[in-house]
């Protein structure tokens, strides 16, 4: 796997996790059971608020490599 | 691409640095219990007053309690002003465990002690035509609730939380405990309670897209 592809996949994974944890905050009654209780509202809030760093770095590097 | 690499790397390092500081702040253990703070009542755990996030519109204002006045007016027969001591001394007190749910996603549960807002309004002979109660804060923030909700739910104007005097960050001297309403209905640093016939009145966040109803079991976006 090329570094460029690895970077893109990592960004995709973090983006999806951002989406999931976002829904875990606003729709916790759905996401909680769907994740077998793994992602309750408080956990979703914590993960969501901490993901901005990895997301920003990956997005920056991804755009930098591809623009 | 190569021309921008050092700049990209520098930006990434800056982001990682700020992020690391944020992680450290968010994962830091909660501060020790404040002296005298109640953290459990009848088996119900209570969240510390230090757990609430500061999300006021202009920062927490400092209230000079000796000069503080709570104005009750609008569509009432007798507009009245109260000092902090008068509110505490002239009205019955009630305590309730209530959860504040913020649109940001967090919620905190605490024991609030205060005066029913409806008692303040009735002391001023609120007009039978009034439909809405508008709350104004020292920092210019406003919000409103139907008079029927204020009356039926006996919403509290709280001055104590978890057996402590309401801290400045939570709205000292008074916070509206808007049970079952999103956090933007919990007006802090309350200085004015106004009865009104304007049921379409929209407060600070309501005029920016949040629901006027503010019911916590429904989305906060909408009319």
How far apart are the C-alpha atoms of B69 and B82, rounded to whole Å?
5
Give the closest-approach CA distance of B80 to chain A in angstroms. Answer: 41
Nearest CB partner across the interface for B8, out of A53, A54, A64: A64
| Claim: this prediction has a pTM higher than 0.95 | no
A46 to chain B: which residues are within 8 Å by CB? 26
Asked whether the beta carbons of residue B8 and residue A61 sit closer than 8 angstroms, the reply is yes
* Contact between A60 and B12 using a beta-carbon 8 Å cutoff: yes
Query: Do the bridges between strand B190-196 and strand B70-74 make them parallel or antiparallel, or are there none, so unpaired?
Result: parallel
What one-character-per-residue DSSP string does A2-61 give? -HHHHHHHHHHHHHHHHHHHHHHHHTHHHHHHHTTTSS-HHHHHHHHHHTHHHHHHHHHH
Q: Is A43 on the interface with B (CB under 8 A)?
A: no
Query: Per residue of chain B (223 residues), what is the pLDDT tens digit?
Result: 455 688 888 888 999 999 999 888 877 776 666 788 999 999 999 999 988 988 889 889 999 999 999 999 999 999 999 999 999 999 999 999 999 999 988 889 999 999 999 999 999 999 999 999 999 999 999 999 999 999 999 999 999 999 999 999 999 999 999 999 999 999 999 999 999 999 999 999 999 999 999 999 888 888 8
Q: A45 and B106 in contact by Cβ < 8 A?
A: yes
* CA-angle at B108, arms to B30 and B200, nearest 5°: 140
CB burial of residue B36 (10 Å; 0-12, 13-18, 19+): exposed
pLDDT value at residue B1: 47
Q: What is the pLDDT of residue B105?
A: 83
Q: Residue B19: its chain A contacts at CB < 8 A?
A: 50, 52-54, 56-57
Q: Which residues touch B121 (CB under 8 Å, ≥6 apart)?
A: B72, B76, B133, B147, B150, B193, B195
| A64 interaction partners in chain B (CB closer than 8 Å) | 1, 4-5, 8
The per-residue pLDDT for B221 is: 84
| Angstroms from A63 CA to nearest CA on chain B | 10
ipTM of the predicted structure? 0.77
Alpha helix stretches (DSSP H) within chain B: 5-27, 84-90, 117-123, 147-152
Which has the closest alpha carbon to B47: B104, B113, B109, B99? Answer: B109
Distance CA B164, CA B173 (A): 12
Residue A56 is nearest to which of B1, B15, B23, comparing CB atoms?
A: B15
**B195, B126 in Cβ contact below 8 A?**
yes
Contacts of B15 in chain A (CB under 8 A): 53, 56-57, 60
- The number of CA neighbours under 13 Å toward the Cβ of A36 is 0
Residue with the two structure tokens 């000796």: B66
- Tell me the nearest-neighbour CA distance from B219 into chain A, angstroms: 9
**Subunit contact A65:B1, Cβ cutoff 8 A:** yes
Determine contact: A26 vs chain B, CB below 8 A: yes
* Residue B187: per-residue pLDDT: 98
pLDDT digits (tens, 9 = 90+) for A26-66: 788 899 899 998 898 888 888 998 999 999 999 998 988 77
pLDDT number for residue B137: 97
Contact call for residues B126 and B75 (beta carbons, < 8 A): yes
> Are A41 and B19 within 8 A, CB to CB?
no
């Amino acid at each position: 796997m090329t570094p460029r592809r690895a970077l893109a996949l990592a960004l995709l994974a973090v983006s999806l996790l951002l989406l999931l944890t976002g829904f875990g905050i606003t729709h916790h009654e759905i996401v909680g059971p769907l994740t077998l209780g793994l992602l309750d509202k408080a956990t979703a809030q914590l993960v969501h608020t901490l993901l901005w760093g990895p997301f920003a770095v990956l997005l920056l590097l991804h755009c930098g490599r591809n623009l | 691409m190569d021309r921008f690499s050092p700049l990209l790397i520098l930006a990434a390092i800056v982001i990682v640095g700020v992020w690391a500081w944020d992680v450290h702040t968010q994962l830091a253990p909660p501060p020790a219990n404040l002296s005298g703070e109640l953290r459990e009542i009848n088996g119900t755990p209570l969240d510390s007053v230090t757990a609430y996030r500061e999300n006021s519109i202009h920062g927490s204002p400092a209230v000079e309690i000796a000069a503080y006045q709570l104005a009750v007016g609008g569509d009432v027969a007798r507009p009245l002003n109260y000092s902090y001591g008068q509110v505490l001394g002239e009205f019955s007190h009630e305590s309730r465990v209530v959860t504040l749910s913020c649109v940001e996603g967090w919620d905190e549960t605490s024991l609030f002690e205060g005066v029913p807002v409806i008692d303040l309004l009735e002391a001023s002979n609120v007009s039978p035509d009034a439909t809405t109660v508008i709350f104004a804060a020292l920092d210019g923030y406003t919000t409103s609730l139907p008079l029927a909700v204020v009356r039926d739910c006996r919403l509290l104007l709280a001055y104590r939380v978890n057996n402590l005097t309401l801290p400045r960050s939570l709205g000292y001297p008074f916070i509206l405990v808007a049970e079952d309403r999103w956090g933007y209905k919990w007006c802090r640093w309350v200085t004015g309670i106004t009865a009104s016939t304007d049921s379409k009145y929209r407060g600070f966040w309501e005029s920016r897209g949040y629901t006027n109803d503010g019911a916590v079991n429904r989305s906060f976006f909408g009319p």
